Homo-oligomer: A and B are copies of this chain.
Amino acid sequence: MKRIGIIGAGQLGQMLGFAGQNLDVEFVFLDPSPDPPASVVGPVLRLPFDSDEGLRQLASDADVVTYEFENVSVSAIERVCADTIVYPPLDALRISQDRLSEKQLFESLQIPVPPYRTIDSAQDLRNAANDIGLPLVLKTRRLGYDGKGQAVVRDEADLSDALTALGGSNLIAEQWVPFDCEVSAICVRNVRGDVLVYPLIENQHRDGILIISRAPAEANGLAALATRHLRQMLAHFDYVGVLTIEFFVAGDQLLANEFAPRVHNSGHWTIEGARTSQFENHLRAILDLPLGDVSPVGHAAMLNLIGSMPPKNLDLGSDTIFLHDYGKRPRPGRKLGHITVVASDPADRDRTVTRLSEILVAQANPTGIADCIDLSG
């Protein structure tokens, strides 16, 4: 039995753990949080992600180490885990941690990106506004996620406020691409170099937060192009594991937004919606097992559950709707779970998504309109 060490024990770690139940593996996690979601699938070392002691123990306990989020110290892992197999390659992790390196890599691999400039001063930002136009999106180079560390600048009067809000330097200004939908492409490559690519996924964000993913995407005609871009990335890193790229779609162009060297929120539908989930395939890849079939088994959608869970008595009314509860304390703003819908055709799926959204919005405001009358005003 192989033992897999995972840095991070959130919901992605939990779902990797569930996927491992089909394989001859066990898990150990490194995560300082109290009661993290993955604690139901293996022991958790309760130490900081970048602690030498934690990483050393993880490496000695495990045959192979992987990670489930990007906010970890590459240099600490390199220092402590020099004799340990770590997948995906740390080069991919390092580059994904800096939007500038990430864009430069995309460009060097002929993967188009929206026009951008580096911003380290007010003058840089004024020049960028002239060069790439307004609106523009100002982003911190490091550690942005879920739309945090970003500001949309609509006119010149807002430039200096946005600059101040984001810290004034180590920023990227990107052209605001107006006409698009957003898709993600998820692939997997094992040690021996087999590659499989999931159907393209269409993602619906609101305010930078992923709310719904649908697969296969309507834009699945772009799948061949997405696969070409993914293969460039896989080859560049001699990559092992699951890799995700998020793209903006504009006509028949794909503009790369960012990549994640890990399983991805937009791939949760693969648990029930594909023959083999992204989680099982990530494990298969890093264990150098044959990869599982990535074909879809229907038309799937995934709805994130943010801040609160649906009512306990939610009547799913169908065996093609799957509720995932990560077992987190319902802290506001947190991703607490997701719902997957699998249907035989897109219209059926979308009708179910609509019905679910109605239930979720209604439960956020259970007593109806009376509840939202403001008595203080």
Contacts and interface: CB of A to CB of B under 8 A. Distances in A.
Interface of A: 100, 103-104, 107, 110, 112-118, 124, 129-130, 133-135, 137, 146-148, 152-156, 158, 161, 165, 175-180, 206-209, 211-212, 250-253, 255, 303-304, 306-308, 331-334, 353-362, 364-365, 368-369, 371-374, 376-377
Contact of A147 (B113, B152, B252): B152
Contacts of A124: 376
5 contacts: A115-B372, A148-B158, A177-B364, A179-B358, A250-B358
B377 A100 contact: yes
A128 to B, nearest CB: 10
Number of copies: 2
Given A208-B152, A358-B252, A373-B107, A307 B364 contact: no
A147 B176 CA distance: 14
B175 A364 contact: yes
Contacts of A250: 357-358, 360-362
A377 B118 contact: yes
Nearest to A355: B251
A158 to B, nearest CB: 8
A56 to B, nearest CB: 31
Contacts of A377: 100, 104, 118
A110 B334 CA distance: 32
A82 to B, nearest CB: 30
Contacts of A369: 107, 110, 112-113
B103 A178 contact: no
A89 to B, nearest CB: 23
Indicate the member of A146, A253, A334 with the most B CB atoms within 10 Å. Answer: A253
A362 B251 CA distance: 9
Given A154-B209, A304-B178, A372-B107, A362 B118 contact: no
Nearest to A177: B361
A110 B255 CA distance: 44
A207 B251 CA distance: 20
Contacts of A114: 365, 372
Contacts of A331: 155
A333 B154 CA distance: 5
A2 to B, nearest CB: 37
A358 B253 contact: yes
B360 A179 contact: yes
B147 A361 contact: no
A209 B251 contact: no
Contact of A251 (B133, B180, B354, B373): B354
A251 B306 contact: no
A206 B206 CA distance: 8
A115 B364 contact: yes
Contact of A165 (B165, B209, B333): B165
Given A207-B176, A360-B179, A332 B133 contact: yes
A308 B175 CA distance: 12
